[in-house]
Structure 1
Amino acid sequence: MNLPRSGYTLPVFACASAVAALRWLQDDLAALPSVSIDLIEPAETAEIAIEQVARLSPTSALAITRSDPGDNLDLTRHTPVWAVVELSTEAAGETGQEAVAIELQGGEGVGRILTADQPAIYTYARRLLETNLRQWSRPGQTMRVTVILPEGRLLAERTSNAAFGVVEGLSLLGTSGIAQPLSAPGQLEAFRRALQQQASLENLVFCIGENGLDLAQSLGIKPERLLKTANWLGSMLVEAGVQKVQSILLFGYHGKLIKLAGGIFHTHHHVADARQEILAAHCVKVGLPTAEIQQVLASSTTEAGLKYLRELDATSRTTWVEQVYGSIADQIDQRAEAYIYTHSEQHVQVGSILFDRDRQIIVQSRKGDSLLSQVC
């Protein structure tokens, strides 16, 4: 079987565009088919194709690349990534003529972090851009680099970015330049190996993606106990059983983890999706009136269904959110434990914590509450 092909993360293409624009300005090149980018993490160099470069003025240029995430079900595939570089020859602050100053901005299609009111250009992306741009800078230069994702705002509507407080576009997120094919079967083996290395810790936390990992750490969960699962939750739960892990805390966005309550253990929407139906079923279970259940079932997303339940609680002084999501969380725990035992004959304690699009915890299951104190 052919191994899935890795690609590069979105920050790498943003960086390549910025470097191409800078080099076009510096060297007045006749052609620039590609640029070499130091990925930093890992310590490798990537050759990234440049689609177009144009000088906008004597001191500014625009370059364009196209995202290639490898063999992955990634909605950013082939999306254009622009960078505009504007130069100044003024000295960069008080550190002297030799200093180089780089200002990074998020243009159209780059998301904005609500809590910080700043562009969603995270630590690795900033480090990548600054490191590579400095290699081509000249003493005393200052530059403004604006990353633009022309399709970013539209693509963001198909993501759970808003669940992590990012609006109006996509994030330049990640801790590595390599885009592993998380949705491809071959990548599951890498996740399993990571779990095997951490199994001795006995109490672990599963997060589906980078956003969940970031939020979990902000809540005080120890980084060494965190594991990314992508959408392979079922396989990773079974591996935890095989490795005799004592407990697993499932920490995630309710629109993903709710699938486990319905017995769906591969959470990619291409495989199965019954989120509204599962939410409505638990509304039935706790006794929500039929008319309200119909409204929940007709909701366009689980987030919309949650919003409707919250509005009912606010106007009627009820506790439907607590009851419905308490039922869902308990069902997630029970089904996950049963799934592990069925496939590994091991008893592993599972707890769950579900949060909403505003990064606020909706519910901690009884077991989830107990396990959280063990992993913080």
Structure 2
Amino acid sequence: MEKYQLRSGFTTGTCAAVAAKAAAAMLLTGNPLQHMKLVTPKGTEADLPLFRVVLNDQEAACGVQKDAGDDPDVTHQAFVFASVGHFYGDEKEALKTCYRYDLENGSPLFLTAGEGIGWVTKPGLSCPIGLPAVNPVPRAMIFQGVEEARREAGFEGPLIITISMPEGKKLAEKTFNSKLGIVGGLSILGTTGIVNPMSEEALTATIRLELHMKAVAGERKVILTPGNYGEAFIKEALCLSMSEGVTCSNFIGEAFTMAREDRFKEILFVGHIGKLIKVAGGVYNTHSKHGDRRMEILWDCVSSVIPDSQRLEKEILSANTMEEASKILKEYNILEPVMKEVVHRIQAHVSRWSGGIHVEVVTFSTTYGILGMSEGAQEMISHFATREEDRE
């Protein structure tokens, strides 16, 4: 059977640039348009239809509906709007909220954000604090598209471009923007102009950015957890905020390596035993495609704690889930010492991956709650709790 080829799409940056170029062309020629072409940084031509065109003497505006292809992008089918108008304001004052683009022989272009576009409030991003979250590549695409329209129309005066996404504020709640210090809406993103279906590279880049943002903010202690179970446990059982944490999915080894690169000094690692048992076996990436071996790893931990038992070995290796295996260990009255060994092995592996960062570990199950904690975990939990109280 022929393998299905995932369909690519266009980034919000491409949509914003197409809309801005079209709005500039309409303003400067007085002619309404139905579509606009633009070449992306990857060299692919985008020829996109325009929606909700508005045109008058002072301003033109239009929208482009994003098609993200087969990528599960939260902005898929959302509208990206651009308006372009003549600029009559104070240039120095405009720089407080606008990006500026200058040619050697020409008036400047200004770029700002309208409804649904986020504003940067923390250092460490590729956009300055206090300006819209329009990343460098889409920013350049927008300016180049508008400059091309201005040149073709033979116009040399200053213009102001405003990008907006009416659904942006609501959609931003589904992203990491609030953690990154982007408030009020979405970022305008893209480096190639093309959306490729979500890759492992994109996921690890998100983890790296979150850790880097915390490091830039001066943080040297962080909570790491693989996913939703861990997040819920951290909030409900440990009474800590995930504002202190980063979700690393299956990329556990990579996350600890990244933490080393950003010079973190202490990490609280919290996760469900179903995921963390793999880490106890030295599994760098816990995705099932890299293998399972959960029960084999668990049995290796069990066999180091108690004398050999063929009956117990058979029960453990036949268990379908770590919840079931934990129940078996509890029935044999050895759950606590086995989990102590599991936690010890987890600590050893993640400490090695992180280059010797001080790591404390908490692992749990949905049935029994905390199964194991490293010796200094409670102290580190208390530290994070105190920091949270101080912020309040």
Verify same fold: TM over 0.5.
Answer: yes
1:208 aligns with 203
Match of 2:268 among 301, 313, 325: 325
Instruction: Show CA shifts across 1:273-331 (max 9, x none).
Output: 43445537xxxxxxxxxxx72x74xx9xx62797xxxxxxxxxxxxxxx9992454994
Is residue 2:144 matched to residue 1:131? yes
1:119 aligns with 132
Q: Which is worse superposed, 324-333 or 146-155?
A: 324-333
Whether the aligned pair in 1 keeps the contact of 2:107 and 2:158 (CA below 8 Å) is yes
Whether the aligned pair in 2 keeps the contact of 1:155 and 1:170 (CA below 8 Å) is yes
Q: Percent identity?
A: 20
Whole-Å Cα distance in 2 between the matches of residues 141 and 366 of structure 1? 59
2:50 aligns with 50
1:102 aligns with 109
2:71 aligns with 72
Q: How does 1:211-360 map to 2 (within 5 A)?
A: 211-214=206-209, 257-259=225-227, 273-279=228-234, 293=237, 296=239, 303=242, 325-328=268-271, 331=276, 333-334=279-280, 336-337=283-284, 339=286, 343=290
Whichever residue aligns with residue 367 of structure 1, its letter is R
Q: Relative to structure 1, is the Cα distance of residues 139 and 5 closer, same or farther in structure 2, using a 3 angstrom cutoff?
A: same
Whichever residue aligns with residue 170 of structure 1, its letter is L
Whether the aligned pair in 2 keeps the contact of 1:59 and 1:86 (CA below 8 Å) is yes
2:197 aligns with 181
2:36 aligns with 35
Consecutive unaligned residues in structure 1, runs of 5 or more = 183-187, 192-205, 221-252, 260-272, 281-291, 307-321, 346-363
1:201 aligns with none
1:154 aligns with 170
Whether the aligned pair in 1 keeps the contact of 2:53 and 2:60 (CA below 8 Å) is yes
Instruction: Show CA shifts across 1:99-118 (max 9, x none).
Output: 14111101111011112121
Whole-Å Cα distance in 1 between the matches of residues 81 and 288 of structure 2? 49
Task: Tell me the CA shift for residue 81 of structure 1.
Answer: 1.1
2:17 aligns with 15
Q: Which 4+ stretches in 1 moved above 3 angstroms?
A: 95-98, 209-220, 275-280, 326-345
Task: Tell me the CA shift for residue 258 of structure 1.
Answer: 2.1
Consecutive unaligned residues in structure 2, runs of 5 or more = 92-99, 123-128, 216-221, 246-264, 293-348, 358-392
